[in-house]
Structure 1
Amino acid sequence: METKKRILTGDRTTGRLHLGHYVGSLKSRVELQDTYEEFILLADIQALTTHFDNPRLINSSIYDVTMDNLSVGLDPNKVTFVQQSQVSSIAELTIFYSMIVTVNQLRHNPTIKTEAQNYGYEDLTYGFLGYPVSQTADITFINADLVPVGEDQVPHIELSRKIVRKFNKLYGTNIVEPQVKLSQVGRLSGLDGNAKMGKSMGNAIYLSDTPETVWKHIRKAVTDPARVRTEIPGHPEICNVYKYHQIFNPSEAPEIYEQCSSGKLGCFDCKKRLNTVLNDLLEPMRERRAYYESHLGEVREIIVEGTKKANRIGNENLDAIKEKMFLKI
């Protein structure tokens, strides 16, 4: 039987997941779970780079992130959930890789620069600056072949590939050089008009939100500012609600475009149609999540057993690496 290639993906444990996570990665995880050996990293160490002062949030989010992944249709019998901080080989590889990466390489990483600006960081912590090094260890402790990421994460993966190439050349190791799988959908904009839907921006529709909360967000969504009456022709190409229709309601999007631009469909009715579509998408997720919320022991077992499996693979790979580095006596 042909061995499946491995995928490493995951989420920082800084809160519940939202629609931006769904279109950016969760949806593709479900589609890929039958054809790849998929590992879902519960990235609690990476969460500490920005939330080191809120460990209780990180702890509860380990469960929330797992349940959100399960709610979209990931099968715990097909995918492996891994708690990052409980895998010793990740920590050791992070140290080894840090020996061959320069501070300048990290400082000039465009993603690090952007994230530092977003968080208002002027004096970076060692952990924040070294995020790409830690990420390289995440990917390579199981020799993942493929890493699904958004466009903003590509510089991180390129640095990971450079680290792996240099490490293999130095020590004669056979660490897999990871390949990028780009998300087919870019960042999901916020319905409030912000360029990004995000937890910290207060504009996120969470996968676990109630129908009432979803409608509350959609009702306040920014549309065409020049369209003050239904009969005035709209400009759907600049409307956030229409962008959501294109992503979540593609079959009706052309009709909505025509009706909006000809003044036949008002913004309120357009929002109501989007509300129906999004709640139809989210309702099965709410049902699955409700099951796991009432079976937290089962969720914990999924995480514990997946992490044990990851440790077995990681320790075996690390032993081979240490052998090549002449660290075993």
Structure 2
Amino acid sequence: MFPDRVLSGMRPTGKLHLGHYHGVLKNWVRLQSEHECLFMVADWHALTTAYDDVSVIEKSVWDMVIDWIAAGVDPAQATIFIQSRVPEHAELHLLLSMVTPLSWLERVPTYKDQIEKMSHKDLGTYGFLGYPLLQSADILLYRGNLVPVGEDQVPHVEITREIARRFNHVFGKEVGFEEKAEAAIKKIGGKKGKLYEDLRTRYQRDGDVEALEAARALLAETQNLSHGDRERLFGYLEGGGKMILPESQPLLTAASRMPGLDGNKMSKSYGNTISLREDADSVAKKIKQMPTDPARVRRTDPGDPDKCPVWQLHQVYSDDATKAWVVEGCKSAGIGCIQCKQPVIDGVLAEQAPMFERAQPYLEDPTLVKKIVADGCERARELARETMRDVREAMGLAYS
């Protein structure tokens, strides 16, 4: 059984904003203390839609990694690396393309959606069509069986599962597989071997899911098995072949509650963002200029918080007492809009303060962040080499 391992990444397309923090980075910070995590700068993915302007990528890479660290991603707990520094991503992408049906890529929901949304760009390229497969290669290269995604990204994990299943079906049937699996059972020892066979029979004959889980646990705790024999027995248990690539599971994350300055979702394309490390005066100015309830033309006019974008930010940054003060003051015209906005300004600045503090050493000495990434890339390559060794062997490419 493969260890629980999380793989996630972001495209380097410019400065990160508070929407990224609330939508992704807070979750990464939590996950890094619960699982082995790899966080990837997806620079090749940036090229799938921004191939005509690559000028922003290099600076964005380093800015983004500093933003990650500022948000609380800990290089001592997680592996931070750059996709293009691990060429095995490209190799696995190529090899998986040999067995991935074209129709699978064309049916990914975000493919047609992005084509329509970005109609001003020529996205009739193989790179854009194949980006879901590159995402699958990113995940499978590290045998990342846990993928944090929102509801809208679940189809990307599903196609990764299908690709892994197809690969294992096509290439997991090694010559003499059953004989090797039977020999591996004997290596377990009499009592455990007999229990494994009994559990396997109960699962395959009766569909007993508890027997399947018990057999998996038995294999996981058995010490005297090679990696190859262990994977053969996991495959033999379910009636398949050797499991070379795991079938990933989505780790569903809650949708970001971070609204933009205009009440819409915070997004650079809407021009309604606050950057993670934005100057305090700029933050205050942006929030003070936010639109409010149109009914409050004069200071003495009562308003309705539900019709005011500022109220949405209070949901993120204010405690219950402050929210009660806002509702009462707005509806009675007891407070003005500038007064209402001040707790939001204070909340944003308080959230950003530790981010500035964590980022400062890396801004003063950029070599520190480059060393973190270099170490992360080497760690990522070690894991990638292990996977590619097994993939090449399965595909008959391990000859010398």
Q: Same fold (TM over 0.5)?
A: yes
* Aligned match of 1:209: 278
Q: Is the 8 A contact 1:192 1:220 kept in 2?
A: no
Q: Is the 8 A contact 2:150 2:253 kept in 1?
A: yes
Deviation, structure 1 residue 257: 3.4
Deviation, structure 1 residue 165: 1.8
Structure 2: distance between partners of 1:66 and 1:237: 37
Give the percent of matched residue pairs that are identical in Structure 1 and Structure 2: 40
Deviation, structure 1 residue 66: 0.5
Q: Is the 8 A contact 1:150 1:186 kept in 2?
A: no
Structure 1: distance between partners of 2:3 and 2:312: 36
Letter in 2 for 1:224: D
1:196 aligns with 2:265: yes
Question: RMSD value over aligned CA atoms?
Answer: 2.0
* Aligned match of 2:132: 132
Q: Is the 8 A contact 2:318 2:343 kept in 1?
A: no
Deviation, structure 1 residue 253: 3.3
Q: Is the 8 A contact 1:44 1:58 kept in 2?
A: yes
- Describe the superposition over 1:167-211 as per-residue Cα deviations: whole angstroms up to 9, x where unpaired: 222222431222112222336332124x33222332221101101
1:315 aligns with 2:395: no
Structure 2: distance between partners of 1:127 and 1:187: 32
Q: Is the 8 A contact 1:145 1:177 kept in 2?
A: yes
More off after superposition, 122-131 vs 248-257: 248-257
1:176 aligns with 2:270: no
Letter in 2 for 1:127: G
Letter in 2 for 1:147: V
* Aligned match of 1:303: 373
Structure 2: distance between partners of 1:82 and 1:174: 24
Letter in 1 for 2:34: T
Q: Is the 8 A contact 1:8 1:144 kept in 2?
A: yes
Partner-residue secondary structure (3-state), 1:288: helix
1:286 aligns with 2:285: no
Unaligned runs of 5+ in 2: 173-242
Letter in 2 for 1:22: Y
Letter in 2 for 1:198: S
- Describe the superposition over 1:50-85 as per-residue Cα deviations: whole angstroms up to 9, x where unpaired: 222333311111111110000012211111111101
1:219 aligns with 2:304: no
Letter in 1 for 2:361: Y
Structure 2: distance between partners of 1:275 and 1:111: 35
Deviation, structure 1 residue 123: 4.4
Partner-residue secondary structure (3-state), 1:56: coil
More off after superposition, 294-303 vs 122-131: 122-131
Structure 2: distance between partners of 1:4 and 1:273: 45
Deviation, structure 1 residue 267: 2.2
* Aligned match of 2:82: 83
Letter in 2 for 1:237: D
Partner-residue secondary structure (3-state), 2:261: coil
Distance 1:191 1:175, change over 3 A: same
Structure 1: distance between partners of 2:325 and 2:171: 60
Distance 1:313 1:244, change over 3 A: same
* Aligned match of 2:53: 54
Unaligned runs of 5+ in 1: none
Structure 2: distance between partners of 1:256 and 1:145: 45
Q: TM-score w.r.t. structure 1 length?
A: 0.92
Structure 2: distance between partners of 1:261 and 1:7: 47
Structure 1: distance between partners of 2:329 and 2:123: 52
Partner-residue secondary structure (3-state), 1:55: coil
Structure 2: distance between partners of 1:255 and 1:148: 37
* Aligned match of 1:235: 304
Deviation, structure 1 residue 4: 6.4
Deviation, structure 1 residue 151: 2.7
Partner-residue secondary structure (3-state), 1:147: strand
Letter in 2 for 1:220: Q
Q: TM-score w.r.t. structure 2 length?
A: 0.76
Q: Highest CA radius of gyration, 1 or 2?
A: 2
More off after superposition, 241-250 vs 202-211: 241-250
Structure 2: distance between partners of 1:105 and 1:64: 35
* Aligned match of 1:146: 146
Deviation, structure 1 residue 307: 0.4
